[in-house]
């Protein structure tokens, strides 16, 4: 037993266990065979399993629920590339099954975890697995979705109560903007998850290297530079989302290609996760004069409708195509998807307020808001055509928008 402990345990000459144990994260070190070589105090407390009982054993034997095939693939990738790989709570839920006993009214039975897999010892083919508790973040996301649902229910109720007037028209736009804001908040949470996990990984890596006395100035400089860039990215994310909702009553020059790139900044995660081919054929020299944020909101709404349609279809080769061209004093923008098409009887209703074909989470205000903005604010026109499995949205906009007196 003493020989086994000497073989697998990381001695205090390598890592100061008091320091590692004080970190509010789970840290375990395994090799490419998933043999456990270190298991810190945090994991002992959370799993009720002592380090001495797990050293030298296979991680999959201790926790049968682990998808060892996926874990091994990520470990080999980290060792081969020499860079960290990740699990996220939003997709994998958890790696080590830890039952929750402290968070009241939780929607989860087990702790939701982000896992960073860091190359530790290339010669011994060992990696450090760093577990971060993301249960509160996941719980917040669930509560956010519930609040969005309440907003949607309130919108439906208000439709029955409001009078047919200009007042009702303005109310509908306000509620549509609130629903869009709820979706954007959810997007912010998604955009921040990986950068925060990366910062946590960098800090944990520095702590390990410091305790092993292999931390160099170059390591510190490189790590601090990565943290600085990541923090800057988080700050820019907030600025972009804030600008998106900022009232914009000034007509400005807008590069159409850059505006679509901006829309992809908000939607790229959903497009990537859904494995959708996105193709934009837009002349980079097309510059129009219009209300930038309102046009951006319409573009995002239309593409988001395509993404939602793909979720409810079984299309294998998913495609979204964008085309824009200038004809005379007008700009013609088409957004086309192959998500299954729209029935003719539904096409006549899609611009009506509160009409939705989505099985859930649909407010029925997105296209209504687009039509109102394009026709009344941007002085343009929007139409939708559908043939076979394809749906095409056409926006016709003036090349130079002029304010009505």
At 128-171, the pLDDT tens digits run: 999 988 888 888 888 888 888 887 888 777 776 665 555 656 66
**DSSP assigned state of 376:** I
- Tell me the average pLDDT across 40-47: 91
Angle ∠(312,318,324) on CA atoms, nearest 5: 115
Specify the pLDDT at position 202.
Answer: 80
Specify the pLDDT at position 164.
Answer: 54
**Which top CATH class is 2-137+186-236?**
alpha beta
b/e per residue, 349-368, with b = 16+ CB within 10 A?
ebbebbebeeeeebbbbbbb
CATH of 248-398, one of 3.40.50.700, 3.40.50.300, 1.10.1070.11, 3.30.565.10: 3.30.565.10
Say if residue 97's pLDDT is above 80: yes
Specify the pLDDT at position 33.
Answer: 93
Percent of residues, the chain, with pLDDT higher than 90: 29
β-strand partners of 319: 277
b/e per residue, 174-190, with b = 16+ CB within 10 A?
ebbebbbebbeeebeee
Specify the pLDDT at position 101.
Answer: 62
**Helical (H) or strand (E) element with 160:** helix 135-161
Higher-pLDDT residue of 245, 41? 41
Specify the pLDDT at position 281.
Answer: 93
Alpha carbon 169 to chain centroid, angstroms: 32
Say if residue 6's pLDDT is above 50: no
Specify the pLDDT at position 60.
Answer: 92
Alpha-carbon distance values, 317 to 275, 278, 309, 320, 343 (Å): 8, 11, 14, 10, 21
Specify the pLDDT at position 163.
Answer: 54
Lowest mean pLDDT among 206-220, 227-241, 381-395: 227-241
Alpha-carbon distance of 34 to 257, in angstroms, equals 48
Nearest to 45 by CA among 24, 14, 66, 19: 24
| Cα-Cα-Cα-Cα dihedral sign, residues 142, 146, 147, 151 | positive
Quick one: pLDDT band at residue 12, thresholds 50, 70, 90? very low
Q: Measure the CA dihedral 164/170/173/179, to 10°.
A: -90
Say if residue 85's pLDDT is above 80: yes
- Structural domain spans, the chain: 2-137+186-236, 248-398
Higher-pLDDT residue of 104, 200? 200
Lowest mean pLDDT among 5-19, 195-209, 321-335: 5-19
Specify the pLDDT at position 354.
Answer: 63
Say if residue 218's pLDDT is above 80: yes
Alpha-carbon distance of 397 to 379, in angstroms, equals 7
Name the pTM for this structure: 0.48
Alpha-carbon distance of 48 to 30, in angstroms, equals 19
Quick one: pLDDT band at residue 394, thresholds 50, 70, 90? very high
Q: What is the mean pLDDT of the chain?
A: 80
């Amino acid at each position: 037993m003493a020989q086994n402990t000497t073989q697998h345990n990381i001695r205090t000459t390598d890592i100061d266990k008091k320091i590692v144990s004080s970190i509010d994260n789970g840290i375990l070190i395994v090799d490419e065979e998933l043999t456990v070589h270190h298991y810190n105090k945090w994991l002992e407390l959370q799993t009720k399993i002592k380090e001495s009982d797990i050293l030298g054993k296979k991680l999959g034997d201790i926790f049968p629920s682990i998808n060892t095939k996926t874990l091994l693939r990520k470990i080999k990738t980290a060792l081969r590339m020499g860079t960290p790989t990740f699990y996220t709570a939003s997709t994998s839920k958890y790696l080590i099954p830890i039952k929750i006993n402290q968070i009241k009214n939780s929607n989860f039975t087990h702790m939701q975890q982000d896992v960073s897999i860091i190359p530790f010892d290339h010669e011994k083919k060992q990696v450090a697995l760093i577990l971060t508790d993301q249960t509160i973040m996941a719980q917040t996301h669930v509560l956010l979705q519930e609040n969005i649902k309440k907003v949607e229910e309130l919108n439906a109720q208000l439709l029955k109560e409001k009078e047919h007037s200009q007042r009702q028209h303005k109310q509908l736009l306000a509620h549509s903007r609130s629903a869009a804001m709820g979706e954007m908040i959810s997007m912010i949470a998604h955009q921040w998850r990986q950068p925060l996990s990366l910062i946590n990984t960098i800090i944990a890596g520095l702590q390990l290297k410091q305790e092993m006395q292999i931390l160099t100035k170059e390591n510190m400089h490189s790590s601090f530079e990565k943290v600085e860039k990541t923090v800057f990215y988080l700050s820019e994310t907030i600025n972009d989302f804030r600008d998106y909702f900022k009232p914009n009553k000034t007509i400005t020059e807008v590069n159409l290609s850059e505006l679509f790139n901006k829309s992809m900044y908000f939607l790229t995660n959903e497009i990537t996760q859904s494995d959708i081919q996105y193709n934009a054929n837009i002349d980079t020299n097309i510059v129009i004069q219009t209300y930038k944020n309102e046009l951006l909101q319409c573009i995002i709404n239309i593409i988001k409708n395509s993404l939602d349609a793909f979720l409810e279809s079984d299309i294998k080769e998913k495609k979204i195509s964008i085309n824009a061209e200038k004809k005379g004093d007008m700009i013609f923008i088409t957004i086309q998807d192959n998500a299954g098409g729209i029935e003719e009887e539904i096409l006549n209703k899609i611009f009506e307020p509160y009409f939705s074909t989505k099985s859930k989470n649909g407010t029925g205000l997105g296209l209504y808001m687009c039509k109102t903005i394009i026709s009344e604010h941007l002085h343009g026109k929007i139409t939708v055509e559908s043939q076979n499995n394809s749906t095409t949205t056409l926006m016709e906009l003036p090349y130079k928008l002029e304010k009505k007196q």
